[in-house]
Amino acid sequence: MFFSVTGSFAVPQPVRQYARAPKIKKTGPESQLSDLPPTMLKMDYAAVPLAQTTDDIVRRLLSLELASHTEKLQLKKEQLIAKVQRDENDRSSEEVKVAILTARIRNYQEHLQKHHKDKANKRRMLMAIDQRKKLLKHLRLIRYDAFEKVCEQLGIAYTFPPEYYRRATRRWLAKKEFCIKVFKAVQKQKAEQRLKMKMKNLGSTESKAAEIQ
């Protein structure tokens, strides 16, 4: 029973059940494995002639439709390697290493989109990115044409490293400002000294010319 302060009955407020708005699903970046057709055979059975002529049930078991994520990722690595390798037997060049690291980095990025708090895989991704940067930097110095080909084929946007990696603290900024101020003052003094020397040399030249006349 509900009573008011004066003792009379109070009518309770009606409970309104409002409909909740539908949750908006966040669409992340497209997976690098999305372009692999499900009818493609696994890498271990692609070169087996009998796998091409088998029945549908067995072929489905051997295809990517029932393959694990690791098997799909391995196939994607082979596709990226085939784009940049120097020849068919090339498995250890810098181009191949960059392709393997690229597939690994993109796999980490897709994983971290779903699992933001996975610090271990985030650390592994950052280490792989640093390793790829070193390989690209060295490849750019020794073989620029191969560097351009790798960036174009793998869709890598190469950015130059900054000149300084030092953290800009207050003390460092104040010291930098003071050094710039001192440098400008020294340059100003040197300019005044050069002007005095120039005027002095000019005066001595004029006096010698007057003596000759």
Of 154, 173, 189, the one marking the end of a domain is: 154
Number of domains in the chain: 2
**183 within a domain of the structure (yes/no):** no
**128 within a domain of the structure (yes/no):** yes
For residues 93 and 43, state if they share a domain. no
**137 within a domain of the structure (yes/no):** yes
**174 within a domain of the structure (yes/no):** no
Of 42, 67, 92, the one marking the end of a domain is: 67
**19 within a domain of the structure (yes/no):** no
Of 125, 154, 183, the one marking the end of a domain is: 154
Question: Residue 128 is part of a domain; what is its CATH number?
Answer: 1.10.287.10
* The pLDDT value given to residue 7: 54
For residues 91 and 149, state if they share a domain. yes
* The pLDDT value given to residue 6: 55
* The pLDDT value given to residue 149: 94
- Mean pLDDT of successive 10-residue segments in the chain (213 residues)? 54 66 66 85 82 82 88 92 92 94 95 92 95 94 94 90 76 92 95 90 76 69
For residues 57 and 92, state if they share a domain. no
For residues 61 and 108, state if they share a domain. no
Task: Print the domain residue range for 47.
Answer: 33-67
* Secondary structure of the chain as H, E, C letters: CCECCCCCECCCCCCCCCCCCCCCCCCCCCCCCCCCCCCCECCCCCCCHHHHHCCHHHHHHHEHHHCCHHHHHHHHHHHHHHHHCCCCCCCCCHHHHHHHHHHHHHHHHHHHHHCCCCHHHHHHHHHHHHHHHHHHHHHHHHCHHHHHHHHHHHCCCCCCCCCCCCCCCHHHHHHHHHHHHHHHHHHHHHHHHHHHHHHHHHHHHHHHHHHHC
**88 within a domain of the structure (yes/no):** yes
